[in-house]
Amino acid sequence: MTVNLTRIYTKLGDGGETHLGDMSRVPKTHPRIEAYGDIDELNSQIGVTITVDGLPERYVAWLQRVQNDLFDLGADLSVPEPEPAADGEAPARERLRVRPEQVAWLESICDEVNATLAPLKSFILPGGTAAAAHLHVCRTVCRRAERRSILVTDANPEVVRYLNRLSDLLFILARGANGDAEPLWEPGRYR
């Protein structure tokens, strides 16, 4: 798949509408646009997180792969499933869709890192090291993207599954980035 971007501004969105990947137009407030806008924000937050000192190199490599996958999610969401053709013919071209293997990869990384962590005895406060704090911000943006993706009624279910597992991974990576110094919730401590 080749992408050619020759001019960034088009003026086509000045009226509050934008094109989807199938060239249909929708308002910029459409649930599909909101969903992949949140995925774009998540990708940017991950980009910032990758620059933070103290993030293990293997986390950086995993997060870079996630960034690429997030573009896949955006591409998937940007093209609605086509209506079946009256003549039964397949669509002219196959669209990029998120696959179960991408979700399975996230699960394998979750399992790998989680196996190195102590069992949880309390809820974790978002924070600790700078790397962990950034990962927690990514996690919360990911949860929002997941909620928004659920509102896209004809979305590929693998998009929601991917975001659900990714938020788990971001939580696990935040725990790993904190090491043994996790800030724990102490219920009622300041009452």
Q: What are phi and psi of 27, to 5 degrees?
A: -65, 150
- Single-letter amino acid, residue 134: H
Q: Report the chain's terminal Cα–Cα distance, integer Å.
A: 58
Name the CA radius of gyration of the chain, rounded: 19
**Interior angle at CA 60, CA 146 and CA 160, nearest 5:** 15
Lowest-pLDDT range of 17-21, 72-76, 150-154: 17-21
**pLDDT given at position 156:** 92
Determine how β-strand 25-27 pairs with β-strand 17-19.
antiparallel
pLDDT band at 18 (very low <50, low <70, confident <90, very high): low
Q: What are phi and psi of 17, to 5 degrees?
A: -120, 160
Q: How does pLDDT run across 156-176, given as a tens digit for each residue?
A: 999 999 999 999 999 999 999
- Stated pTM of the model: 0.85
Q: How does pLDDT run across 90-134, given as a tens digit for each residue?
A: 656 677 888 999 999 999 999 999 999 999 888 999 999 999 999
